[in-house]
Amino acid sequence: MKRGAAHRIVLTALAWAAALAVAFPLLWTFITSFKPELEAVAFPPRLTGVDWTLENYRTVLDEGGYARSALNSVVIAGASTLAAMALAIPAAWAMAFAPTPRTRGLLLWMLSTKMLPPVGVLMPIYLIYRDAGLLDTRAGVILLLALGNLPVLVWMLYTHFREVPGEVLEAARLDGASVVQELTQVLLPLALPGLASAFLLIFTLGWNEAFWTLNLTSTEAAPLTAFMATFSSPQGLFFGRLSAASILSILPIVAIGWFCQRQLVRGLTFGAVK
Amino acid sequence: MSQIELHGITKRFGDHRAVDRIDLAIARGGMTVFVGPSGCGKTTLLRLIAGLEDPDEGRLLIDDEDMTGTAPAQRGLAMVFQSYALYPHMTVRANIGFALKLAGMARPEIDARVERVAAMLHLTPYLDRRPAALSGGQRQRVAIGRAVVREPRAFLFDEPLSNLDAALRGRMRVELRRLQQELGTTAIYVTHDQAEAMTMADRIVVFRDGRIEQAGRPLELYHRPANRFVAGFIGSPAMNFLAGPRAATFGAAEIAIRPEDLTVAAEGWSGTVTVVEHLGAESYVHLVLEDGAPLVLRSRPGEEPANGAKLRVAPVAAKVHRFGSDGLALG
Ligand SMILES: Nc1ncnc2c1ncn2[C@@H]1O[C@H](COP(=O)(O)OP(=O)(O)OP(=O)(O)O)[C@@H](O)[C@H]1O
Ligand SMILES: [Mg+2]
């Protein structure tokens, strides 16, 4: 019994250590964002006797661009996820319920495009976007992210759809459901938890996308990831402001994630309890 | 008088013909039972009729109309799946009413019809539950209700009772048969259980390897099996098959005798009793003949021989089924 208690304490400590290690950078950023610039770069860093301030936040918000970038982030992440969903749902439906001998290969082939480093196609895409007038436009970024995340989304939805028994869809077909009704009234409600988690993941990927947004946007379509980067240049590093900008950038996604998670849990237990 | 006609229907999976050139006419208003061992193509044929699969060859007529390539919903057939395939996210009420809703029927009329069907199937107390909160038997009845409410041209049942326990299965069998006769709707019923086939069918179709072995009324199949396979498949315990000189005396390559058609006699084949099964109303005596051939005979209770007893048995001559070397019944 005594050994059991010691065992539990060790495990708890390990769990806390792991959680702290994961959360440490975020925590540090949070703390730094409330320090004056001089304190922010001080070494060794101090936690006591600091002159805590909201100055960094004021500067970041005053400098302008936050509101527009935040809106761009919401629009880009939201629209690219919805567009990807619109393409991926029918694709995953076909692959899950009308598979052919080549379905598996097709899925792997789609996924393999994600193994290419994006920088490998930066040049052609930049040139195409320049000539098509898509540079620094929301539509351009949305298009790229929607297509870029499509393979992962199709794969995820395919996995979720496969857990829905095909006979339920066939029953709907016999009951007179059209293809659209079969999808919207039977398949999607049944796959809702999977759909929600896929949506959340792809939305987060779109929100966090930095490579393409940094390279293809400048001001008009710049989302928060690009906004954040402006604080690391050109006047040199301002760690306090950079930290404040980072915290401001992740706040919305944390809020959305928290909200979706609650919905997700509710959705999962709703059917079982009721 | 036939409502559904199949002409040369064939379905291949790769090189394998799951359904092989089937010609069949399903009578209007009757209960036709498809029976056969596992993997013989019963489900595939039912799905072809429902329109869930397309045949590689052949034509399908429903009410004299060619429906070979028609979408499932347009065929006017209702199917009950072995897995029930209920909509888990809908209440019992919504499950039963789904087809009517899709057909654009007005809400009050849907409600009225759903309530009527629910009352018929004793589902009224469960109308607002979801399938997860129902017992297996209740789910089964919801699946049947979903088919009945549409007033289809025909019901297609794919082993609808196989997930129920034996007692409930026996009860549902009778209930389903009564319901079908009351409604007078044509039904095709798939099972691999020959006893279920015998009790439910107006007409039985015996399948093997995608082909029809024999079709006919239950007692016709029982008393006049067309071949060795049907003889062995229909009836429980199965027929006794004997080959060699014993069959030769009847002028056949092989003979088959039902357990009830064997009697203990002064003159006959001698054997030793190995097991006696007491079922109450009757008993089955298992014998081994001198050359090792097994034999089962039915005996009245109280008249069974003891275990290990030696005795002689003889068939009722008129009840011996004779088969040629090709397995087909002789004369
Ligand atoms: N989608 C499919 N792809 C390939 N082969 C299939 C498919 N569906 C069925 N088969 C094959 O076709 C044959 C007939 O299958 P079917 O399901 O119709 O048999 P069944 O008579 O219903 O058997 P059971 O009594 O076990 O349900 C089997 O050999 C099966 O393996
Ligand atoms: Mg089957």
Domain B237-323 falls in which CATH fold?
Answer: OB fold (Dihydrolipoamide Acetyltransferase, E2P) (2.40.50)
Say what the pTM is.
Answer: 0.83
Task: Judge if the beta carbon of residue B44 lies within 6 A of ligand 1.
Answer: yes
| Whole-angstrom distance, CA of residue B301 vs CA of residue B259 | 14
In a domain, A199, yes or no: yes
Q: Is the CB of B192 inside a 6 Å radius of any atom of ligand 1?
A: yes
Residue in the structure block whose two tokens are 């009578």:
B27
CA of B90 to the centre of ligand 2 (A): 26
d(CA A49, CA B273): 101
B140 lines ligand 1 (CB under 6 A): no
Q: CATH for B4-232?
A: 3.40.50.300
User: Is residue A191 a part of any domain in this protein?
Assistant: yes
pLDDT of residue B88: 94
Q: What is the pLDDT of residue A84?
A: 97
Q: If you measure CA to CA, which chain A residue comes closest to B14?
A: A101
Give domain status of residue A48, yes or no: yes
Distance from CA of B165 to the nearest CA of A (A): 22
Helix (H) or strand (E) holding A214: helix A211-216
Give a yes or no: residue A10 inside a domain: no
Residues of chain A with C-beta less than 8 angstroms from the C-beta of B73: 173-177
Predicted pLDDT at B96: 97
User: Is residue A6 in a domain?
Assistant: no
Residues recorded for chain A: 274
Torsion of CA A115, A116, A117, A122, to 10 degrees: -150
- Domain membership flag for residue A273: no
| Distance (Å, whole) CA A222 – CA A175 | 49
What pLDDT sits at residue B208?
96
Res A103: pLDDT = 92
- Distance from the CA of B50 to the center of ligand 2, in angstroms? 14
Is residue A21 domain-resident?
Answer: no
Q: Tell me what pLDDT residue A48 has.
A: 79
Residue of A nearest to B82 (CA): A167
For A241, the domain range is 33-268
Comparing CB atoms, the residue among B71, B81, B132 nearest residue A171 is: B81
| A167 CA from centroid of ligand 1 (Å) | 15
Measured CA to CA in angstroms, residue A69 lies from B53, B233, B282 at distances of: 52, 75, 87
Ligand 2 centroid–CA B42 distance in Å is 6
Read off the pLDDT of residues A250-263 as tens digits, 9 standing for 90 and up. Answer: 888 888 878 877 76
Is A176 within 8 Å of B83 when comparing Cβ atoms? Answer: no
Q: For residue A85, give the CATH number of its domain.
A: 1.10.3720.10
The tens place of each residue's pLDDT in chain A, 274 residues long, gives 557 888 999 999 999 999 999 999 999 899 988 988 888 877 788 887 778 888 889 888 888 788 899 999 999 999 999 999 999 999 999 999 999 999 999 999 999 988 888 898 999 999 999 999 999 999 999 999 999 999 999 999 999 999 899 999 999 999 999 999 999 999 999 998 888 888 888 999 999 998 999 899 888 888 998 888 887 765 667 788 888 888 988 888 888 878 877 766 655 554 433 2
* Contact yes or no for A212/A7 (Cβ under 8 A): no
Residue B47 near ligand 1, beta carbon < 6 Å: no
User: Could you tell me which chain B residue has the CA closest to the CA of A272?
Assistant: B132
pLDDT tens, position by position, B201-234: 999 999 999 999 999 999 999 999 999 999 999 9
Could you tell me if residue A16 is inside a domain? no
Residues of chain B with pLDDT under 70: 1
State the Cα–Cα distance between residues B297 and B259, nearest whole angstrom.
4
Domain segments of chain B as ranges: 4-232, 237-323
Query: How large is the ipTM?
Result: 0.87
A245 CB neighbour count, 10 Å cutoff? 29
